A and B are shown apart, each in its own frame.
Chain A
Amino acid sequence: MAGKVKNAGSRTTNPLVEKIGGQRLVVLLVIITLFSFFSIKSEAFRQYSTILSILDYSYYITFMAIGVTFALITGGNDLSIGTGMVCYGLIGGFLITKMGMPVGVGLVVTLLCGILMGVLNGTLVAIMEIPPFIATLCTMMIARGLGSIVTGSMSITWPPLATEQGWFRSIFKITIGDTKYPLGFLWVIILIIIMTIVLNKTRPGRYIIAIGSNKEATRLSGVNVVKWHMLAYIICGLFTGFAGIAYAATFQAVAPGTGAGLELDAICGAIIGGTSMKGGAGSIVGTLLGVFVMSMLKTGLPYIGLQANWQQIITGIVLIVAVLIDVIRTKKSGK
């Protein structure tokens, strides 16, 4: 009888597709299609420099997206990552440029700020049980205000590449001879691998997924759900710190009051990549692919004459499709 039940519940998918993850495969195809499409339509798009710029603009979003994937998997969310990223970049940069501290200190402080925010978000969500949307909406506003206060509402220009202090910019884009190499992509790949392992092969990952699937059943199994739930937000904060560094390294200056809305790009990326808004399911590789769809659209559309407004509309449509896939999948498996 169990066999029958099983048959009734399972879908008729190719086992290989099932293993790689149907949605991730689709997203990969979308990326290839988009890339081919833009390349054919526009000669300028085919340039190495374009690819470089796609990557440049993807790092900070990718880091935020990896982090927020953990929050999403618990069934929560983190809206504070956008303004948070800018805020930590401002604080770190402030220490370097205004307080005369070494760049290394600035970088570490940027990360620490992210972790602290993760602890705060985790406390609000996991211990005080404030709904994640509300809790992180509040910390989003706090982060925005805090960045402005620390810098006295002034933009912070992290040291440019040419200066002695500008070495940190080479973390993401290194120039060897006359060619620039997207070194940042290497870090992204390494972090993707590490976090994929953390999510799938370690206790924190297992428990974070379990919390998102059924928090109460997990708690009743004697698992310290508060601790692991909180950890998801701390991971999110840490990666927002990474994002803050990538942001500072990519852009000339970090301006206070900005960053709102960027969290949505990251969340969109994660969801396009197959992370469920209901929690309990998600993949880091999927998130990376999802972010690439976003940055491909962001960079590619101007090349075929469609400006930012169109990019918004198309991204919106892509997101609806991605969420629809999730909804349909949930409905199927719910039967």
Chain B
Amino acid sequence: MGEIILTMKGIDKSFPGVHALDHVNLEIRKGEVLALMGENGAGKSTLMKVLTGIYKKDSGTITYEGKEVEFENPRAAQDAGVVIVHQELNMLSHLTVAQNIFIGREIMNGKMIDDAKMNEESIKLFQKLNIEIDPTEMMGNLTVGKQQMCEIAKAISHDAKVIVFDEPSAALTEAEIEELFKIIRDLKKKGLGIVYISHRMDEIKVITDRVTVMRDGTYVGTLITKDCTKDDIINMMVGRVIYEDPKAASTVPKDAPIVLKVEHLNAGKMVRDVSFELRKGEILGFSGLMGAGRTETARALFGADPKESGDIYINGKKVEIKDPMDAVKNGIGYLSEDRKRFGIVVGKSVAENTTMAALQNFMKGLFINKKKEDQVSWDYVKSLKTKTPTVETEVVNLSGGNQQKVVIAKWLTRDCDILIFDEPTRGIDVGAKSEIYTLMNELVAQGKSIIMISSEMTEILRMSDRIVVMCEGRKTGELDISEATQENIMHMATQRK
């Protein structure tokens, strides 16, 4: 076990109305990867913001390399060797890789910026990480994975001794995650202290040495990763057992009618000749790696993006879907993977979002029947167990899981029979996740049909009745849940046609 490099002890932080951190402890050791886990809102990010000087702590001590410290701002923390690699990358896409890495501390040659020298230095950094990126490439032309590598290179260029990774894998493909892990192991070997924040249990098991769990702003405890199970960690996070086994067999009768049939759908490079069927009361899982074209397929089907060719049949009848209006008229609802951009109007109330797709049913003559709108919205708040004080509350104030419920309410208000859930639990904490699952199961029990796009294998195996696997814009396989395993799905997901 490595020597302790950084200790946070009794850290306390309050915001008006919220006790965000309640005497939290954290210990980072050299040559070790520490997982920091907890549901959304548990206080992980706040703790890291206190560490790097974005927030001032109310009380408690931070000891770094044997001395008590309090960083004034992220810059001071960086200079001392404590850096964060953020989940959302702070990259300037129109500058080169090297220019990004050295932004704010450009290498000068007299009064002029020395680009050549910065390129050289960047290459040296990349060599340290054993990765190959052209420092003169525009940042915007890199994949998300490569951009993250650049962010890491930037971090180590500060002579970092402690690196915090804030959900680094969220946007990465499996291959990129592997590469990231290789780098993290390298950094670990070099004696750096690493904090790894993630919701992905599988990764925690693979990459971390210890797990510190937080819940509701408090420190719950620390476990040795190899000595504990996923359930141990989840139990500490939520205080209850929720981990469920995969679905054993399809719950859809063999003779259930086909509600949606898609034939030879083509849209751009990402959707090539995709055909599938959806039965009444079925959850059809769409699995695949990032960039497999699943979201693009859903968007083309929904009319959100133009399609080149392909036929869509609803309840056996051929329909024309040119734009989302047509799709909604045909009873299709789309729950986007990017809720804030495509799913909800964050600045508007729960009620306004709930009726967005079906406002015509809430009219009294020329006017919106506010009473009915509030009543229906409140009914959904109750039946979906959305946590919101009122229906007038702006959705920006709700947590991810509750925002997702508002989007579900929107499509239920429109009485859609076919719902496309694109990454239904992305950014949603474990507790709310199982609520969303229960809800989806209730919906199909009521006779709705669901297409579920998911990048989480456990989610696919737990929820789907049937699974369509895509790779690089093509459908590469279809499995009944009874025959699906992680291995055969992954095999199809990497099978280029």
Chain A residues proximal to chain B, CB less than 8 Å: 1-10, 12, 197, 201-203, 206-207, 209-210, 213-214, 216-224, 280-281, 333
Contact = CB atoms under 8 A, between A and B. Distances in A.
Given A1-B387, A7-B17, A214-B341, A220 B336 contact: yes
A106 to B, nearest CB: 30
Interface in B324-371: 324-325, 327-329, 334, 336, 341-348, 352, 356-357, 359-360, 363, 366-368, 370
B66 interface: no
Given A214-B346, A222-B329, 19 more contacts: A5-B41, A5-B397, A6-B393, A7-B17, A9-B397, A201-B370, A202-B366, A203-B359, A203-B363, A206-B368, A209-B348, A210-B356, A214-B344, A214-B347, A217-B345, A219-B304, A219-B324, A220-B324, A280-B345
Contacts of B359: 203, 206-207
B323 to A, nearest CB: 8
A217 B325 contact: no
Contacts of B370: 201
- Which of B39, B325, B388 gathers the greatest number of chain A CB atoms within 10 Å? B325
Q: Is the interface of A mostly helix, strand, loop or mixed?
A: helix
B387 A3 contact: yes
A220 B302 contact: yes
B389 interface: yes
Contacts of A221: 324, 328, 356-357, 410
Contact of A202 (B344, B368, B396): B368
Contact of A197 (B39, B328, B367, B410): B367
Interface of B: 15-18, 39, 41, 216, 302, 304, 323-325, 327-329, 334, 336, 341-348, 352, 356-357, 359-360, 363, 366-368, 370, 387-389, 393-394, 396-399, 402, 410, 414
Nearest to A198: B366
Contacts of A206: 352, 359, 368
21 contacts: A5-B398, A7-B18, A8-B16, A9-B396, A201-B370, A202-B367, A210-B345, A210-B348, A213-B345, A214-B341, A216-B341, A216-B342, A217-B345, A219-B304, A220-B304, A220-B336, A221-B328, A221-B356, A224-B325, A280-B347, A333-B394
Contact of A213 (B334, B346, B357, B410): B346
Which 3 A/B pairs are nearest by Cβ-Cβ distance?
A222-B328, A2-B387, A7-B17
Given A217-B341, A217-B342, A220-B342, A8 B367 contact: no
Contact of B325 (A2, A4, A8, A222): A222
Contacts of B16: 7-8, 12
A197 B368 CA distance: 10
Nearest to B42: A1
Contacts of A280: 345, 347-348
Contacts of A9: 396-397
B341 A2 contact: no
